[in-house]
Amino acid sequence: MTTVKVVCHRHYEDENEWSCGNWLEYTLVIVLATILLLGSLGLTLFWVINYHGGFAWQEDPKKQFNLHPVLMVAGFITFSGFSILLYRICRCCRRIYVKLLHTIFHALAIPCVALGFLAVLDSHNLANPPIANFYSLHSWIGLVTMGLFAIQFVFGFFSFLILLCCEGATAGFRSAMVPIHASFGLTTFMLAIAACVTGLTEKVMFKLGNRYSHFEEEGYVVNTIGITLIALGILFGYILHRDSFRHRPNVLIRSPDL
Ligand code: HEM
């Protein structure tokens, strides 16, 4: 009788089929994505420290606002971006470890987003006179992004828990959910980019007004952050749709006694 045995085994044969060009392309896009993820955060920090006087908490609501862009970029772009990228960086690790790291990186984004949100709420409510809340397109995009992120996190977390409790019984359900979770994950990332770009535009217009059209130095810095984020959106779309970059730790091999 012919039986087929599934063995957990690194996919060396497949890896070896990759040509030099494939490796070059893979390395290039992953390194570029890493530079852009860290670069967008670094540039945002540089912008608020150099042009907006750094950070404070409730004693100075104007400077408290500065925490908002930095923490939102850290949470929604850098941590969430690495969390997604892990599925392409750790191609040969056991999937359970990749899932654990994916959850940890997303969990790290939560305090950043919560504090970033609190900072902008305080900076509006404690201003003298107080500033209205949720009037702008940016704030609406931001709310949708945070809502989707929360749904995705709760859903992903519970799928991970049921994976730990009853792996076999829930395999069908979990694998049916993977494409939905992945597609909404990319949507959330793109929406976060849209929120950041609209937020940056709004802030630079508030501060520079007409001077924005006179090619002020700060305008260049803000535009560079925006383009870095747009480049991330394009690159992530490419990386996630490139089939050969996918995670493939297991191979179906025939039992040697056959
Ligand atoms: C994914 C990232 C972001 C999310 C989810 C987000 C979310 C929000 C939300 C919900 C508000 C409304 C707060 C209120 O009305 O009390 C807000 C306000 C604001 N945000 Fe963001 N934000 C993000 C990134 C940024 C960035 C990078 C900037 C750049 C400076 C920025 C600039 C602003 C400004 C100027 C306001 C006050 C004016 C307004 O309500 O539109 N945001 N943000």
CB burial of residue 118 (10 Å; 0-12, 13-18, 19+): middle
Over 90: is that where the pLDDT of 36 sits? Answer: yes
Distances (CA, A) of 121 to 57, 77, 217, 238: 12, 20, 29, 35
Beta strand ranges found along the chain (DSSP E)? 4-7, 251-254
Average pLDDT for residues 6-10, to the nearest whole number?
A: 47
C-alpha 205 – ligand 1 centre gap (Å): 14
Mean pLDDT, the chain, rounded, equals 89
Q: Residues 26-40, buried b or exposed e (16+ Cβ, 10 A)?
A: beebbeebeebbebb
Q: Any idea what the CATH number is for the domain that residue 184 is in? A: 1.20.120.1770
Residues facing 254 on adjacent strands: 4
pLDDT band at 249 (very low <50, low <70, confident <90, very high): low
* The total number of structural domains that make up the chain: 1
Whether residue 129 is preceded by a cis peptide bond, meaning omega within 30 degrees of 0, is yes
Q: Report the C-alpha gap between 237 and 183 in whole angstroms.
A: 11
Residue 60 backbone class (left: φ over 0; alpha: ψ -120 to 50; beta: rest): beta
Task: Give the pLDDT of residue 177.
Answer: 87
> What span, in angstroms and rounded, lies between the C-alpha atoms of 202 and 216?
16
Contact 141, 198 (CB under 8 A): yes
The protein residue whose alpha carbon is closest to atom 20 in ligand 1 is 199
* Confidence band of 254 (pLDDT split at 50, 70, 90): very low
Per-residue pLDDT averaged across 127-132, rounded? 96
Ligand 1, CB cutoff 6 Å, lining residues? 68-69, 72-73, 76, 120-121, 124, 133-134, 136, 138-139, 142-143, 145-146, 192, 195-196, 199-200, 202-203
End-to-end CA distance of the chain: 8
Q: pLDDT tens digits for 82-125?
A: 999 999 998 878 888 998 999 999 999 999 999 999 999 999 99
Max mean pLDDT range (84-93, 135-144, 152-161, 246-255): 135-144
Which pLDDT score, from 0 to 100, does residue 257 have?
Answer: 32
- Environment class of 191 (CB within 10 Å of its CB; exposed 0-12, middle 13-18, buried 19+): buried
Looking at residue 248, its pLDDT comes to 65
pLDDT, average across residues 119-146: 98
| Ligand 1 centroid – CA 177 distance (Å) | 31
Tokens of 116: 């970033």
13 CA distance to ligand 1 middle (Å): 48
- What domain range is 53 assigned to? 4-254
Query: Which ligand 1 atom is the nearest neighbour of the CA of 137?
Result: 41
Nearest CA to ligand 1 atom 14: 133
